[in-house]
Every structure is written in structure tokens, then in C-alpha cells.
A and B are shown apart, each in its own frame.
Chain A
Amino acid sequence: MTPGSWLERQRSLLDYTLSSLARRPAKNLALVTVYALVVFAVASGLFLGEALRAEATAALQGAPDVVVQRLQAGRHDLIAAGEVERLAAIRGVERAVGRRWGYLYRPSSRANLTVMVPERFWGGDGEAVIGEGVARVEQVGVGETLRLEASSGESFDVKVREVLPPGTALFTTDLLLLSEASFLRLFGGGPDRFTDIALQVPNAREISKVAEKVLQLLPGSRAITRLEMARTYQSIFDWRGGLVMALLSTALLAFALVAWDKAAGLSAEERREIGILKAIGWDVSDVLLVKLQEGAVISGAAFTLGAVGAYLHVFLGSAGLFAPVLEGWSTLAPRLHLTPAIDGLQLATLFFLTVVPYTAATVVPAWRSATADPDAVMR
């Protein structure tokens, strides 16, 4: 018979590949399932880490350019209200605002709340605005009261005016916003002292210079720039992400060994089939193309299933499986509603670390059999 068209040849060989895969359904389904699970786990880690970093970066857009804290014996201490005006006078500083915040441990719920006085509190005295997590663990809603125990031993109630929206949960889940009076009643101290002072510096190039001037003006204080805060956030996510990736890479390695073992050794049945194909006139390139397609179909399907599953898990399922390891720093874990953010390079790396080696591992033993005499392979 004379040769036909190239396209028809590809179609015929692809048909053969698919029928060949269908002939070993149990083995191939098991392989795709395990493979997809590994990709799912690793991709979930990558997607979640990337999404958290993107959230952190977005949230820091509204953070102060410089935060000034007083240090006492190397520890953070309250700073005098009078320093606000001195810091505001530094050239390049547009605004200086004293802030009040602290932490409150709640033995009843075993949660640590972050208590803050916002610059412009929209509630009244005796009212509170709370994060989603606080509402959850304290089991309170709008209009209900929350009993607080002050450092003096006195207890008082605040009425919940508002629960912050879930979209901000990553940074507000453990928040308890109070009026200045309620804050001072809770923690003591006087109106002449702040927790720290936030500076607004419109020109980003002047931020580091302003930080230097702060240290000259207030020896024994520290000035934290937004860039440093961003680095801290990034390192927290990188560390947590690294932890997960280290765990998952073990799974990936285990899978690689299993996959290599599976792919590198052809079964007697598969070797015989290659021998038959060669004996009836198939070229080495025909056999290799079929094996390449087999490897690509299995690994491609597994990668797609794993990656799509991971996307759904992280961005629609709020990363339920990995969130406890990766998410925020509070004891009140936020319910995550992450905006999809994917690093294409990471995904491409994962693709090349899974699909390419598997496909290659499938082709190598087939090549060994296909280049031998058909008679020898069938024997």
C-alpha cells in the first residue's frame, strides 16, 4: 500500500493510543488519580501562598508610610502624645496620627483579639465594631452585647454596632474596634499616651530619610517603614508556604519514584505488544509517538485535573485543606475569601516538573524495546 497523509497518520496513531489506554483502565485510572492528587496538593499550596501574598500586598496599600514606636529595654512601650506634633514637623511628613491598639485574651473563647481605636470611630461610646471571627467565636451579632473585662478587674458591656465584611477577613477577623474612652477603660493609661504614631509621607523616596530623622529626634524609638512591613508579611507567607511546600515536595518525590518505576519498566505484555507492532511493520518513530502520546495524555489529564481542582479548592473552597497551616497569624483563623492570583511561572514550573519527566520516563523504555529486533522483543 502506498503511504497516505501525515494528518491521517497522526489521527490513526492517536486513536490507537486512546484505545491502548482504554485497554488498561484500572492501571491508568489509578495512575491519573494518584498523579492528579499530588498535582492538586502542590498546586493548592502554590495558589494559596500566592493569593495570600497578593492579599497582603493589596492590604498594605492603605497602611501608614512609617510607624514610630517607643522602645523600653528593647520592648515596645507607649509613646507620649506630645511627640505627635514633633514628628509632624519633620520635613516630608504630611500627617502624624497617634494610634491606640492592644491585644485582649478572652479565656471563654480562648481567642486573642486585636483591639484598636480607629482614627475616626463611627460608633459611639459603649459601642464596638467587630471582625467576622470575633462574631463567630464570641457568638454575638449586631445589636448584641459583648462583656469585656478591663485590666483593672472591672467588667463592662459594649454593644456590637457592626460586623466587618468577610471580604476583609484576612486582616480584620480578630478585630475589636472601640471608641477611645472604651479603649482607655479597658486597658487603663491616659489620653496623653499612644501605642504608636503613624506618619504619612507622600513622597515615597523620602520615606527612608524621614525614618532616619525620626531616630535622630527620638533616640530609643524605632521607625518601621511600609516596605519593611511588606517584607515581614512576605517572609511570613514565604515561611509558611515553604513549610507546606517542603511537606508536599516529599509527596511529589514519592510520586516521582513510583511514576518512574511504573513508567521506566514496561510489563512483559507491553514489551510483547511493541514487538508485535514492530513485526507487522511499525517504525520506531510510530511506537515512540504512541508512547509519547500515552504519557502526555496521562500526565496532561492528571495535571489539568489537579490544577483545576486546586483552583476550585483554593478560590471557591477557601483552601479548606491547607488553610490551617498557611493562613493568618491570629488565633482567630479568618474564613478566607481569596481573590484568584496565580503565578504563571510557578504553574509552568510545576507543569515541567510533572508532565515532562513522566512523559520522558514513559518514552525511554519504549525506545529501548522499539529499537531492538522484533523477534528479540517478542521472545
Chain B
Amino acid sequence: MSALIEARELRRVFHQGRSDQVEAVKGVSLSIAAGQVTVLRGPSGSGKTSLLALLGAMARPTSGRIFLGERELTSLPERFLTEERRRTFGFVFQQFNLVPGLSARENVMLPALPLGHPRAGLARRAGALLERFGVAHRAAARADRLSGGEAQRVAIARALINEPAVIIADEPTANLDSVLSGVFMELVGTLRASGKTIIVASHDPLVYESPLVDRVISMRDGRLEEPAP
């Protein structure tokens, strides 16, 4: 299967040159195949979130290169990187990161607002996504009044509104009980079936031991435990 994302010798250093310098990602090379579910597994502090941020164009590496297909992301100006974030990636954050005060429907519509599509069509599309994930009845509820499971499904709907090719989820089951974690994995199966590429960071066995997962990459102390393919 062809590599959709390829990372070469990625390093991510926080507070570089200061006494509190931290090297979160230490020379990671890997490739992510299109249409697969890949899980980054490792304990807290192993660098999973930092690596996800790099792979999803949310941060620039201190050194190393990232390719999306034939295109190198690391050298792109901010404007084009934004375009990739908007078009290619959909993020589901560990804390969901919904905007409080906005309704579930408005949160789902949020990534598409700057695209200039008619609001009515966008609202219909957001409604359909909420319906698909079983939270249509909470469309008008404020994001800060949703339960953990509802908030996560709204966050997934938001990640899909711009029809991205890649879904990135960071510790998606960390705030969910086992039942809702199971529901999440069912959603992953649905997305995989629709051809999406899914990258999940998790140290939850329910996730990385799931039969839906094509590949598990282990991380520890900022490095991969499995050699890059």
C-alpha cells in the first residue's frame, strides 16, 4: 500500500537552548499508509501527542522532514500549511477542544466557516454528521453541556465536516468509559470503511488491540520501539 504520510528523522524540541529544554520527539522516521488505521502506542510522556501534531501539520519539527504524498509539508509557508490542515486533516483532540458557548451544530460547522459556503447547506451537512454519530438530538445543546461521549462524537463530526482524507485522534478514549470507548472504535470502523486514513495515539488496550487496527507503532521516550518500515 502506498505511503500517504512519510516522516524522516523528525525531532521536536521544546524550549530549545533553555535550562528546561525537552526533546519530545527524537529522530522519528515512519510512513503511514493510506486507508489504514494506525495506532501510536506508548505511555504518557512518550511523545505521541507531539508526533501527532507534527504529522497533522499542527506544529513544525525542530528538524527532519514530513511528506504528504509527494509534497513536503515542512517547507510550506503558513498559508499553505493552513490549507493542508483544512483540506487533508481532521483532528479529534484528547480534551475534544470544542468551543464552549457554541452549540454542537455550530462547533461542527466551525472548520467550514472560512470556506464561504452558504450557511443553510452547512447547517444541513453538520446535522447529517451529528445524525450519523447519534447525537442529532443534542445539535442545539451548548458544547460545555455535552457529556464526554457526546462531546467526542461532536468532535469527530467536526473533524469530518471538510471531508478530510486523514483523521487524527489523540487519546480519544482517555475520557470515556469502556462502553463509550467501544462506540468510538465502531466509529473508527465506519470511517475506515469509508476510505479514511486514521491515526490514533492511545495507550488504551481497547484501542490498540482492536481488530480494526492495521498497525500499531510503539513509542517510548520520544523514539519508536519498532523500526520504521
Interfacial residues, chain A to chain B (CB-CB below 8 A): 1-9, 11-13, 15-16, 19, 22-23, 272-273, 276-284, 286, 371, 373-376, 378
Jot down 10 A-B pairs with beta carbons below 8 A, ordered by A.
Answer: A1-B117, A9-B115, A9-B116, A12-B113, A16-B113, A22-B101, A279-B85, A280-B159, A281-B86, A283-B114
B97 touches A375 (CB 8 A): no
Give CA–CA (A16, B115) in the complex, Å: 13
B113 touches A4 (CB 8 A): no
A280 touches B116 (CB 8 A): no
Q: What per-residue 1/0 map shows which CB atoms of B155-199 lie under 8 Å from chain A?
A: 000110111000000000000000000000000000000000000
B114 touches A286 (CB 8 A): yes
Residues of B within 8 A of A375 (CB): 50, 53, 58-59
The reply on B110 being an interface residue by CB < 8 A is yes
The reply on B71 being an interface residue by CB < 8 A is no
Residues of A within 8 A of B161 (CB): 1
Residues of A within 8 A of B50 (CB): 375
Q: With A280-B85, A281-B111, A282-B114 given, is the CB distance from A15 to B59 under 8 Å?
A: no
The reply on B106 being an interface residue by CB < 8 A is yes
The size of the chain B interface, using a CB distance under 8 A, is 35
Query: What distance in Å separates the Cβ of A145 from its nearest Cβ neighbour in chain B?
Result: 72
B162 touches A4 (CB 8 A): no
Residues of B within 8 A of A9 (CB): 113-116
The number of residue pairs between A and B whose CB atoms lie closer than 8 Å in the complex comes to: 98
Q: With A19-B106, A278-B82 given, is the CB distance from A8 to B111 under 8 Å?
A: no
B119 touches A12 (CB 8 A): yes
Task: Considering the complex, give the chain B residue whose CB is closest to the CB of A16.
Answer: B113
Q: With A19-B102, A280-B85, A375-B59 given, is the CB distance from A8 to B118 under 8 Å?
A: yes
Q: What per-residue 1/0 map shows which CB atoms of B51-90 lie under 8 Å from chain A?
A: 0010000111000000000000000001100100111000
The reply on B112 being an interface residue by CB < 8 A is yes
Q: Which of A1, A278, A279, A378 contacts B115 (CB 8 A)?
A: A1
Interface centre among A1, A15, A272 (most CB of B within 10 A): A1
Give CA–CA (A2, B41) in the complex, Å: 35
The reply on B208 being an interface residue by CB < 8 A is no
Give CA–CA (A16, B113) in the complex, Å: 9
Residues of B within 8 A of A23 (CB): 100-102
Give the dominant DSSP class at A's interface.
helix
Task: Considering the complex, give the chain A residue whose CB is closest to the CB of B89.
Answer: A281
Q: Which of A272, A280, A373 contacts B60 (CB 8 A)?
A: A373
Query: What distance in Å separates the Cβ of A217 from its nearest Cβ neighbour in chain B?
Result: 82
17 more A-B contacts (CB under 8 A) besides A8-B119, A19-B102? Answer: A1-B161, A4-B115, A9-B114, A12-B122, A19-B101, A276-B99, A277-B110, A279-B58, A280-B159, A281-B82, A281-B85, A281-B111, A282-B86, A286-B113, A373-B59, A374-B58, A375-B53
Give CA–CA (A12, B161) in the complex, Å: 15
A373 touches B116 (CB 8 A): no
Q: Which of A13, A15, A272, A373 contacts B58 (CB 8 A)?
A: A373
Residues of B within 8 A of A282 (CB): 82, 86, 111, 113-114
Q: What per-residue 1/0 map shows which CB atoms of B93-111 lie under 8 Å from chain A?
A: 1000101111000100011
Give CA–CA (A35, B93) in the complex, Å: 38
Residues of A within 8 A of B82 (CB): 278, 281-284
Residues of B within 8 A of A283 (CB): 79, 82, 86, 114
A4 touches B116 (CB 8 A): yes
Give CA–CA (A23, B144) in the complex, Å: 12
Interface centre among B82, B93, B114 (most CB of A within 10 A): B114
Task: Considering the complex, give the chain A residue whose CB is closest to the CB of B91.
Answer: A279
Residues of A within 8 A of B159 (CB): 280
Residues of A within 8 A of B60 (CB): 373
Q: With A4-B117, A16-B113 given, is the CB distance from A378 to B85 under 8 Å?
A: no
Give CA–CA (A279, B163) in the complex, Å: 15
A280 touches B158 (CB 8 A): yes
Residues of A within 8 A of B118 (CB): 4, 8
Residues of A within 8 A of B97 (CB): 272, 276, 279, 378
Residues of A within 8 A of B87 (CB): 281
Give CA–CA (A146, B50) in the complex, Å: 92
Task: Considering the complex, give the chain B residue whose CB is closest to the CB of A276.
Answer: B97
